[in-house]
Chain A
């Protein structure tokens, strides 16, 4: 996949029609999208050390779409992900997340934006001292729902097949189970947007497959937008759309079929990626 052809063309909006949000969050904009990026530039460092890492990014992520972002390391994927996640302050261009323009927002306002975004990391980042349920409840507490947090956490864990592990601490869980708890934590507040960074990297083949199948199900059933950074070829098939970043620029933006044909000089069957 390192062999991206420069002329592959920018297919700005994929053919998948936007699915309206289940929560009906976006109504003000004519065509509601979870993320709208226009002419975004981003720099690291200051003064002489200032280095541009993202160049002129334009991207729309409609509701209900699973988008996989791929590209060589150092291409700015993760930076873009953190910008969409309102984890960094942005100064140039326009970045609208869940109908909130976040360019120019202060840190505390960014915190509010983040509460509507689910994050899944390569590492599970669960508190060892808290049980699975308590880890999930920590997320529910952000919504100030004190009465039903336990029930909601158990329900979410049950959906992820962890009903018998609710009161286990991370140390007694397998890698896949831990990642599923982390996913439960990210999903329990039903965020319209889910950002995932290599969610399957630490998992074996079957656990990884289970995790993405689950995410796919949620996107389709509940209209969530999922943006996933991954190098894991085994899970590309769940994507509605695959975007490639190279050297801080959006190189290609294709659906799965296009991606397969453009990335496979021998024109192998797309099932290779499905497994």
Chain B
């Protein structure tokens, strides 16, 4: 019952000069916003790479052993899927065929590469709402679904659009929502495996024609209660060595690790985040230091009256924490808006997760505590004897 009755000196000092307070809050909010944006971009780049993989329907994934990342266009024999289907616990096996093909924007007539995802529409390989609804339409020849989150260069994304894919006519029969990543910079088309054959089995002498005999990604649906790790181990042991068998989580992780370890994304954005953090420390320190310097006589008087150093440290730390929280809220809200804008503009997956929010909140608090810890040294050094004379 003590604390609510104590005069909240930190609060009064902080809020006394409105203009200064607003400047301070704006400074902290800016640092918070920068941290959010850099972390957001970093994770968007990572998350975007695996958003398709996460949505694939299957507990176990089979890929060609040398397909180290989604970028590598290597397939494996479809027999491996049939072989895998013979194992206990495997209920079904799906084949996903992917390739990159030129798409002509129906309005500008400009050609852009799109990634094509093909599978048997009778099976729930990629169970997104737009895809499940339009399965019947996908059975029609020369049709596909287009991702609404494709980049603007793809042109209008709606059912009924007619254009060209790999220099052959195509009709869009519906849309779904997925998003882009590095391997599909402009967007994704979804079509049936039969249409995949129609478009890509006869590409001409210079190009690798595709058939349904080779699969890009194999998915295994398991019976409930199957021990995934044991099955994965058994499959890897018994299937020929040309395939890699992974649980879906490991597969997603492997893709993430590829991007983490083989690109500078992590380093660049960690550096940028750290720099924002340091800028925040300097800003908050400047604010706290000015307050302490402006009120040194008052603080010294408090010391003379019998207040301990500890109390004064607490006042400064409180101010730091208050600034942190007051700056975090606007920073968070603006970041939310900018995440939305970035997602709309680029199709990248900008997610404001609870984890990230708490993470940055903690970073903000630590940032302010560090500033406070530096600024309190000024209070500690305040000699009450100096107030006299």
Contacts and interface: CB of A to CB of B under 8 A. Distances in A.
19 contacts: A78-B388, A85-B304, A87-B383, A87-B384, A87-B388, A114-B304, A114-B306, A119-B301, A121-B388, A126-B298, A127-B12, A130-B7, A130-B12, A134-B12, A138-B7, A138-B302, A138-B305, A139-B305, A146-B1
B13 A127 contact: yes
A111 B301 contact: no
Interface of B: 1-2, 5-7, 9, 12-13, 15-16, 295, 297-298, 300-308, 383-385, 387-389
B9 A128 contact: no
Contacts of B308: 108, 111
Contacts of B16: 128-129
B5 A146 contact: yes
Contacts of A127: 9, 12-13, 295, 298
Contacts of A126: 298
A88 B385 contact: yes
A82 B385 contact: yes
Among B12, B16, B385, B389, chain A packs the most CB atoms within 10 A around the CB of B389
A25 to B, nearest CB: 16
Given A127-B295, A129-B12, A142 B306 contact: yes
B304 A134 contact: no
Nearest to A114: B306
A257 B320 CA distance: 56
Given A87-B304, A125-B300, A126-B298, 10 more contacts: A85-B388, A87-B383, A87-B384, A115-B305, A125-B387, A127-B9, A129-B13, A141-B6, A141-B7, A146-B2
Contacts of B13: 127, 129
A81 B385 CA distance: 9
A115 B304 CA distance: 8
A130 B11 CA distance: 10
B328 to A, nearest CB: 23
B384 A125 contact: no
A197 interface: yes
B301 A121 contact: yes
A85 B300 CA distance: 13
Interface in A139-187: 139, 141-142, 144, 146, 149, 185
Given A139-B305, A146-B1, A129 B15 contact: yes
A112 interface: yes
B305 A142 contact: yes
A28 B5 CA distance: 37
Contacts of A128: 16
B311 to A, nearest CB: 9
Contacts of A121: 297, 301, 387-388
Given A134-B7, A141-B7, A197 B305 contact: no
A127 B5 CA distance: 18
A123 B301 CA distance: 10
A149 B7 CA distance: 10
